[in-house]
Structure formats: structure tokens, C-alpha cells
Amino acid sequence: MGNRAIVVMGVSGSGKSTLGAMLAGTLDAPFLEGDAFHPAANVAKMHSGEPLTDEDRWPWLDRLGRALGEAVIERGTAVAACSALKRSYRVRLREAAGMPITFVLLEADRQELMRRMSERPGHFMPTSLLDSQLDTLELPGSDEPAIILDAREPADRLCARIREKLEASL
């Protein structure tokens, strides 16, 4: 499939980590969990119910983007899970990666997202931050390489649809 950087994106609870890991497995590519690139201060802030600011996010996006770019150079393809809620965040990821990125947006309604988030015991992202994420979300523009999918579909079906779209874009 050639060199590819792929970011599975969406608000908390959309299933980006589950789908990203599955997609990476089917592509025999490394998977980067965006949450793992947050500094402890960001995690503590979110855990306490305080939304991150852009200033909190820039270093995190830079670290994740660099790691994604390095993984693509090393392995040819890499997949990351990252909220990437704003266009400016997606631009920052692309710049840090040093290459184009295909974004996969997982969409679901607020009720479904709330249900999923409440079923994740011990996760640092409280349900109280869902509305701020939904308010922040900027859908990818027609000029951004993006695949938009319904997060309620089974992960294996979503994975197959992403692969079809990636292969069709070669």
C-alpha cells in the first residue's frame, strides 16, 4: 500500500484506539496510542475535568507527529489514534510528521459516546469533558485527506472500509 501515515481521529469514546490498533494489525504496521504521548500534567488536567488548551496540546501533537513520521520512515506505514479535533491540530501533526497524513474520523452521536465513555472504568477522560470535545470538533474540510465513518459500525467492518478506501486512493 506504499508509505502511509494514518490517524484515526474523533472525540473520546468514538473507538479510535480500538479501530486504530485493529487497522495497524491488518496492515502489519506499528500503532501509536496518542494518549501515551501526553505529559503527566495533561493527563492530570483532563482527569480533574479541566479541558486542555491549545498551549497544552502543541507539545503533545509535536511528539506524536514526530513519532508517527519516524514510524512511517522505519516501517512504511503507521497508524495513530489521536483526537485531532481541530484543523490546526491536524496541520500541526502533518508538519511534525513531515509527510501527508490520511485522517479517519469516527462519528457517533452524543448519547452513544456518553454510553461508551461511561463503560470505561479507570480511563482518565471523564464524561464531563465530552461536550467540550464535541464543541471543539472541526470536521475535516474537503481539502483534507479524510475518511469519515459511522463509529457505530463493527470495528472489523470499519477496518475493511478503510482499507478499501486507502487502496482506491493509490
Higher pLDDT, 117 or 161: 161
Domain regions of the chain by residue span: 4-168
Mean pLDDT (whole number) for 148-166: 93
Q: Are 114 and 66 in contact (CB under 8 A)?
A: no
Q: What is the pLDDT of residues 69-103, one digit of tens each?
A: 999 999 999 999 998 999 999 999 999 999 999 99
**Angle (nearest 5°) at CA 59 between 57 and 62:** 105
Assign a CATH topology to domain 4-168: Rossmann fold (3.40.50)
Question: Over the stretch 34-69, which tens digit does the pLDDT of each residue have?
Answer: 989 999 898 888 778 787 889 999 999 999 999 999
- Report whether 101 contacts 89 (CB < 8 A): no
Q: How open is the CA angle 89-108-129, to the nearest 5 degrees? A: 60
Burial letters 86-120, b for 16+ CB under 10 A, else e: eeebbebbbebbeeebbbbbbbbeeebbeebbeee
Q: Would you state the pLDDT for residue 110?
A: 65
pLDDT digits (tens, 9 = 90+) for 120-129: 555 445 555 6
Mean pLDDT of 22-37: 95
Q: What is the mean pLDDT of the chain?
A: 87
**Distance in angstroms (rounded) separating the CA atoms of residues 89 and 35:** 15
- Residue 76 pLDDT: 96
Confidence band (pLDDT; 50, 70, 90) for 32? very high
**pLDDT-derived band of residue 28, with 50, 70 and 90 as boundaries?**
very high
Other CB atoms within 10 A of residue 60 CB: 19
Local structure of 159: helix, strand or coil: helix
Cα separation, 29 vs 42, whole angstroms:
27
Closest CA to 1 of 148, 144, 147, 168: 168
pLDDT of residue 95: 97
